[in-house]
Amino acid sequence: MSSKHRDGVSINLGFVPEFDYKSSSSQSWTRVWTMSWRRLSSLQRTIIVLFVCIVALCFFYFHPTFQSNGSKSAKMVPINVPGDNPVNNLPHDSVREMEIEKAHKLEELKEKAQKQLENMMKQHGVKDDVDEDKVADEKNKVEENNFENTNKEKEKDVEKKVDMEGVKPELEYDFFDANRKHNDRQKAVIEAFKECWSAYKKYAWGHDEFHPVSKKHSEWFGVGLTIVDNIDTTIIMGLEEEYEEAREFATNGLSFDKDKDVNLFEITIRVLGGLLSAYHLTGDELFKTRAKDLGDRLLPCFNSPSRVPYSDVNLRSGNAHAPRWGPDSSTSEVTTIQIEFRDLSRITGDPKYKEAVDEVYTHVHDEPKKDGLVPIFINAQSGKLRNSGTISFGARGDSYYEYLLKQWLQTGKTEMKYKNDYLEAVQGMKTHLVRKSEPSKLTYIGELLSGRNFSPKMDHLVCFMGGTLALGYKNGLPEDHLELGKELTHTCYQMYAKMPTHLSPEIVYFNQAEGAPDDLIVKPLDAHNLLRPETVESLFYLYRITKDEKYRDWGWKIFLAFKKHARIEGLGYSSINNVKNAGNPSFRDKLESFFLAETLKYLYLLFSDDADLLPLDQYVFNTEGHPLPIYKSA
């Protein structure tokens, strides 16, 4: 059987004509036809059969023998006007009954033919595109659909992009605008940055760290750390020449294909964070590509039995392991990579980075805690927090708390689990760790040794918390957070002001005994200063949030103290050994990359009068001072 339909008309003959070659008068003619027929493809055969059928049908239909009134009145028979009922459209004349019957028959034939055609096409694997018009129609339709779909996809992409990247303030701010104004304090900070940069460039370019006294360099990760950690600093300060140098290094000098064990946390916050920030501030795909390459090389850290990451990984082999000094990872380290990995997922569209760090967060979230407070060690094998570990807002604990708040902010305040954990931790901190010193009643955050015994020790690292509390308040958390943030920042400033150099030691102990002459006790081994940023970071937040000028003045005094005691003319800045000895603080011969990436950056931002420069409702700074966009959702 064969049929063909065109323009909605289907005709069926009820049989498939057979070529009766055996009874043919000419055997050779038959053979030729048979062979020719066999050589045809299924499609060709189908078309021929259809053609024959339609000719036959026309013959039956239009031949006078088959006409009711002897005329070619077939035109009176409604033939499949789509959507019409043929019976309703018949003429009212004497042949109506016959016409009706014929119409019904034709309808039946049409349906039958249609089914047969479909079956046949299925059999031959032919789609109903044998009709060229239909093919063209279908093609147009497909193209139209594709066009529409592509547009829809594009629209979706735009939506996705907006959703993925959140607001895009970076594109609205021209960092290299020649008309950007800098006040005197900002100019002084820029000068300090440029001095460090040019000395590093001269003596250590492409190496991780610079030693300004010996004019030597050293490697940590082997990735030009000081450059990558500071691409965004050059952008934010509007230093186009330095930015171009950094970009050139990122283009031609930077490689992560290194047989080097790196610390997951450190390289994430400094290098991955630096690249992500550079990408957001410039939109330059190069930084995204580099960030993705690094992110991929760090992922093996998460292949631990508990999914809590190992602390270290070899960049080339992907071999991940616990630190050399012990079986545990630091709690703050495994919980201070989430902002960067989430951002990497957003910009690449690949959820694997976010998923890896989310799992870690969820795991730590589910672990038992002391009123929201965590011990500073966690085992990557078992995933257990070490309960006998110290509880601290300083080394190895600090940024766990910082990233609870900042993840809530980064996700557009949509993920309440972060906020709730943060609120619980602040409450736990107030209950167990916040005390006042004697005699001046300075508010500070101590530690719980072995998770139990209070120690009045506070690392300079803890000084981030004043700013974090203020940032929480700015985002709707209770006002007493701001008050506590102010008190803590005042204490941190006193850690500078009370020292002969006006620079803070690395660690202080607060006096608890009534009647003692001084609030601060500094042990000889804790008297060094690494040019750390936490206090000026808090000053930056507190100034932005309260607009109280005293925070700028404190920041300026700190900057001047750095300049006086940590500067080596023409070579930039070095960490120092003894903040208690103003006559001879002695250089440690090291420029930490965070001095430029955080300390100077936060000072520059603290002194800035430009309200459009990195607004806090559009950017969240990672723990290394790299601004990343706030999204509208998780």
Active site (catalytic) residues: 266, 398, 506, 534
Amino acid at 473: Y
With beta carbons less than 8 A apart as the criterion, state whether 281 and 235 touch.
Answer: yes
Q: Which is nearer to ligand DMJ, 242 or 624 (CB)?
A: 624
3-state secondary structure 536-584: HHHHHHHHHHHCCCHHHHHHHHHHHHHHHHCEECCCEECCECCCCCCCC
Q: What are the CA-CA distances from residue 402 to residues 98, 371, 557 (Å)?
A: 89, 16, 26
**584 C-beta neighbours (distance < 10 Å), count:** 10
Helix boundaries (H) for 411-478:
416-432, 464-474
Name residues contacting ligand DMJ, limited to 215-274 (CB under 6 A). Answer: 269
First to last CA, the chain: 61
**Minimal distance in Å, beta carbon 592 to ligand DMJ?**
7
Least distance (Å) between residue 289 CB and ligand DMJ? 24
Compute the least distance from the CB of residue 594 to ligand DMJ, in Å.
Answer: 4
- The residue with tokens 């009709």 is 131
Residue nearer to ligand DMJ on the CB measure, 57 or 461: 461
User: Taking the complex as a whole, how short is the minimal distance between the CB of residue 542 and ligand DMJ, in angstroms?
Assistant: 17
Nearer to ligand DMJ, 170 or 624 (CB): 624
Query: Strand 434-436 and strand 443-445: pairing?
Result: antiparallel
Shortest CB 272 distance to ligand DMJ, Å: 13
CA 266 to chain centre: 18
Nearest-approach distance from CB 545 to ligand DMJ, in angstroms? 20
The gap from C-alpha 298 to its chain's centroid, in whole angstroms, comes to 15
Among 623, 626, 630, 631, binds ligand DMJ (CB under 6 A): 623
* Strand blocks (E) in 189-330: 209-211, 216-218, 261-263, 312-314, 320-321, 328-330
CA separation (Å) from 316 to 221, 300, 322? 12, 11, 17
Instruction: Count the residues of the shown chain that bind ligand DMJ, applying the rule CB under 6 A.
Output: 9
Q: Which residue is nearest to ligand DMJ (CB)?
A: 623
Q: Nearest CA to 519 among 510, 529, 527? A: 510
Of 263 and 304, nearer to ligand DMJ (C-beta) is 263
The answer to the question of residue 399 lying near ligand DMJ (CB under 6 A) is: yes
Residue 67 in tokens = 């006409």
Beta partners for residue 16, in sequence order: none
d(CA 465, CA 457): 15
Residue 147 CB, nearest distance to ligand DMJ (Å)?
50
Is 189 or 461 the residue whose CB approaches ligand DMJ more closely? Answer: 461
Query: Nearer Cβ to ligand DMJ, position 461 or 603?
Result: 461
Give the torsion sign (CA, 250, 252, 257, 260): negative
Taking the C-alpha atoms of residue 143 and residue 528, their distance in angstroms, rounded to an integer, is 70
C-beta closer to ligand DMJ: residue 106 or 272? 272
Tell me which residue has tokens 């991780």. Answer: 208
Check residue 157 and report its DSSP letter: H
Closest distance to ligand DMJ from the beta carbon of 533 (Å) = 6
Nearer to ligand DMJ, 57 or 507 (CB): 507
* Least Å from the CB of residue 163 to ligand DMJ: 29
Cα gap 224→229, rounded to integer Å:
9
**What x-and-dash track marks residues 317-356 binding ligand DMJ by CB under 6 A?**
----------------------------------------
* Cα gap 474→52, rounded to integer Å: 83
Q: Is 529 in the site for ligand DMJ (CB under 6 A)?
A: no
- Is the CB of 49 or the CB of 271 nearer to ligand DMJ? 271
Residue of the chain from 170, 333, 519, 624 that contacts ligand DMJ (CB under 6 A): 624
Instruction: Compare residues 332 and 491 and give the one whose CB is closer to ligand DMJ.
Output: 332
Residues in the chain: 634
Binder of ligand DMJ out of 210, 594, 607, 631 (CB under 6 A): 594
What torsion do the CA atoms of 581, 585, 586, 589 make, to the nearest 10 degrees? Answer: 150
Q: Are 386 and 379 in contact (CB under 8 A)?
A: yes
Torsion angle, CA of 188/466/490/444, rounded to 10 degrees? Answer: -140
Among 274, 375, 472, 533, binds ligand DMJ (CB under 6 A): 533
Q: C-beta of 263: minimal distance to ligand DMJ in Å?
A: 11
Q: Does position 622 bind ligand DMJ by CB under 6 A?
A: no
Measure the CA–CA gap between 521 and 270, rounded to whole angstroms.
32
Tell me: does residue 532 bind ligand DMJ (CB under 6 A).
Answer: yes
Q: 449-478: which residues touch ligand DMJ (CB under 6 A)?
A: 461
Does 297 participate in binding ligand DMJ (rule CB under 6 A)? no
Binding positions for ligand DMJ, 32-91, rule CB under 6 A? none
Binding site for ligand DMJ (CB under 6 A): 269, 399, 461, 532-533, 594, 598, 623-624
